[in-house]
A and B are shown apart, each in its own frame.
Chain A
Amino acid sequence: MARMKIRKKAEQRSVSRTLFSQAQLNRPLGRVAYWSSFWVMIVLFALVFLFPLYWMATGGLKSAQEFIQVPPTLVPTHPQLSNYSTAWTDVDLGRLLFNTTLYAGGALLFQLVFDIGAAYAFSKLRPALGNVILFMMLATLMIPATVLVLPEYLTANNIPFLHWSLLNSPWVIWLPSVTNAFNIFLLKRFFDSIPEELLAAAAIDGAGPLRALWSVILPMSRPILGVVSIFAVVNVWKDFLWPLLVLTNTSAQTVNVGLNQLSVGLPENIFIAALAIASVPTIVFFLIFQRNIMSGLTAGSLKG
């Protein structure tokens, strides 16, 4: 309790002057204007951002008749939890969620290993022509992913020289996810800020490049690693066009692609229940990591 009060006070003090000064808001008229606009915003935000989610969750609980009733019921009269279990089995949501988690986890791992390795090489090992390669990677930032979707698909279907098809295997999500030049750029910039002397000291102590990366660079890079990891996971979870093309087997699909395929032929209330279930994992993920996600978002965009 006491700690909360202290925190609140500190927060109030740290709020610097904005468009309107505190003195202005403390006047009677200012106070009325502030509190009325405050409550308008609270209600508006609840209506715009919470109500659609509430409508989805309760829509999934309604019976087929209640679902199309005019006027609608704000609270389901006979909530049917069975809709959710039917949605879970009919859409095979367990598999879709498992697939997406597997793809996101693997993409995270590959991005961390390969992109950190590359950024470390560009920043600290600096081999000949390193800057040329870095430039070629950063140049891909100018080429939007959707432009390359077709040749990328053809390449994934028939890897040069090896003639393997990666379609419908996790590799087709994992390996292309490494070509995230923005991550490499963020990591390299962060590694650049780590003093050379620390590495020299590590080298004197007999640490090789890998050891220096593991015990000197990585422990210092936790904030940027958090940012990169979160966006690696979120990107896989939100991607649609690429998985739509390369994951055609029902058993290999992601949540996005699976929902798109099963949208026809299901009763509507069941489908809405499926949408609600599919939204739960990322929203829970967000509620757990909200602090990191929000600070990462601003750090990634302002400094990047």
Chain B
Amino acid sequence: MATINVTRARAREVKAAARTRQRVPLGRRVRRHATGYLFMAGAVLCFAVFSWYPMIREVIMSFQYTNFAGNTKWVGLENYRHIFADPGFWAAWRTTGLFTLFALIFGYAVPFITALVLNEMRNARSYFRLLVYLPVMMPTVAAAFLWRWFYRADNTGLFNQILNFLHLPTVQWLQTSHIVSTLCLVLFSTWINMGSGVLIYLAALQSVPGELYEAAELDGAGALKRIWHVTIPQTKLILSLMLMLQIVGTVQLFLEPFVITGGSENTTSVVYLIYQYAFNFNNYGDASALGIMLLLVLMVFGGMYLWLARRVEQD
């Protein structure tokens, strides 16, 4: 109903605007356009220099042999062939994929479950909200170094101190295996990022109408059934949006391996590898080709999201 009214109002507005446009003399119209361009000039310039031009340049560089010294020649698909042959390329994708998978299991589920529990709390609501958001506000690198200290393999790291205190055997956190190190990174990433997720889910949960729970309860649905049949369908839009944001965010993993593991145990991620290609191996072509691949993968996820969103809407 509301949308129809808005559409009608909009149609009226457009008609009115069309009528006035006919009456406005040419000089005034030119001036209106010019003022419009003037107002957006700053942003357009910034976008042109720091967004649109680099995008084009990235595509071009991915087909070139080019480096810091500026020796540039066309090599066609050679860069792509080159990085496919690099074992580090597959390892980086495996790490990124594993991190994304773990982050989906932990980083995605934990904030939602936390929000579900917090939404039932009738007391100390601001205490919970304040605490969960504290890590989000820390400088990321400071938090990462803090966790690197917690993960120390000798007995001075916090986690091993706790295991010691409980008389449990200590763990070589970041030096055991590929999977354990990646899990450690996911744990840190969940800790520092979950605040925003929890707050967004809490807001979404508060908009779920109480009558639906009432009705489900009268129909004899237990708590888990109410979550499955009321809470999740009512919040599925925000859930799918957050899923997409989560995937796009985790595929761009860089800071965690860079600061916490330094790429040890094969924890070099794709973006970290781009960084290494460009700034350690001085090979801009390979770095750009890898960047383009990352972009294509993210676009696939974006497309999947759009397809999913449309299906959700149709249901």
Residue ranges of A at the interface with B (Cβ–Cβ < 8 Å):
12, 15-21, 25, 34, 37-38, 41-42, 45-46, 48-50, 52-53, 55-56, 59, 67-68, 70-72, 110, 113-115, 117-118, 120-122, 125-128, 130, 133, 136-137, 140, 142-152, 154-156, 159-160, 175-176, 178-179, 184, 196, 209, 234, 237-238, 240-241, 245, 255-257, 259-260, 263, 268, 271-272, 275, 278-279, 282-283, 285-286, 290, 293-294, 297-298, 301-302
Chain B, 131-169, contact with A by CB distance < 8 Å: what is the 0/1 string?
Answer: 111110111111101100110000110100100110000
Query: Would B145 and A271 count as touching, CB distance under 8 A?
Result: yes
Query: Would B46 and A72 count as touching, CB distance under 8 A?
Result: no
Which of A121, A268, A278 sits near B142, CB closer than 8 Å?
A: A278
A32 to chain B, nearest CB (A): 14
Query: Given that A21-B214, A298-B199 are known contacts, is A155 also in contact with B57, CB under 8 Å in the complex?
Result: yes
Q: Interface residue count for B (Cβ, 8 Å)?
A: 103
Residue ranges of B at the interface with A (Cβ–Cβ < 8 Å):
13, 32-37, 39-44, 46-47, 49-55, 57-58, 61, 116-124, 127-135, 137-143, 145-146, 149-150, 155-156, 158, 161, 164-165, 191, 196, 199-200, 202-206, 208-211, 213-214, 217, 223, 226-227, 231, 238, 241, 248, 251-252, 254-255, 259, 271, 274-275, 278-279, 284, 287-288, 291-292, 294-295, 298-299, 302
Query: Would B205 and A41 count as touching, CB distance under 8 A?
Result: no
* Extra 6 A-B pairs, beta carbons < 8 Å, given A59-B149, A144-B294, A271-B145: A50-B131, A118-B40, A152-B50, A160-B53, A241-B271, A282-B139
Query: Would B47 and A45 count as touching, CB distance under 8 A?
Result: no
Instruction: Provide a sorted-by-A list of 26 A–B residue pairs whose CB atoms are within 8 angstroms.
Output: A16-B206, A19-B120, A19-B227, A21-B213, A38-B124, A41-B117, A121-B35, A130-B36, A140-B47, A143-B51, A144-B252, A144-B294, A144-B298, A154-B54, A175-B49, A178-B43, A179-B46, A240-B141, A240-B255, A256-B140, A259-B145, A294-B133, A297-B200, A298-B200, A302-B200, A302-B238
A285 to chain B, nearest CB (A): 7
Query: Would B284 and A49 count as touching, CB distance under 8 A?
Result: no
A221 to chain B, nearest CB (A): 15
B residues near A110, Cβ cutoff 8 Å:
42
Query: Would B150 and A52 count as touching, CB distance under 8 A?
Result: yes
B residues near A140, Cβ cutoff 8 Å:
47, 51-52, 55
Q: How far is the CA of A72 from the CA of B200 in the complex (A)?
A: 38
Query: Would B127 and A150 count as touching, CB distance under 8 A?
Result: no
Query: Given that A49-B134, A272-B149, A298-B200 are known contacts, is A260 also in contact with B259, CB under 8 Å in the complex?
Result: yes
